[in-house]
Amino acid sequence: VAGTIADPRDAKCADCLEVCPVDAISKSSCGLILDLAKRVFCGKCADICEKKVITFTQEHRMTVSDKKE
């Protein structure tokens, strides 16, 4: 299960920042930043997100497709 942020610019609140047990979510001037290396996929961020900016899906595409990258 992969965690995604639909559109980081839509994230106006910071509730997910407070519930993340590993500080994998941060906020910048561009919106939310999700650090996949820190994620534990607990789902707390998606559960608290009223606007469903953060969701979990069954898609699990990675940023690289070759181990050499």
The 10s digit of each residue's pLDDT in 8-66 is 556 667 788 899 999 998 887 777 778 878 888 899 998 998 888 787 777 766 555 55
Q: Are 50 and 17 spatial neighbours (Cβ–Cβ below 8 Å)? A: no
For residue 3, which of 47, 44, 57 has the smallest C-alpha distance? 57
DSSP SS3 for 16: helix
Pairing state of beta strands 31-34 and 25-28? antiparallel
What's the DSSP call for residue 10? G
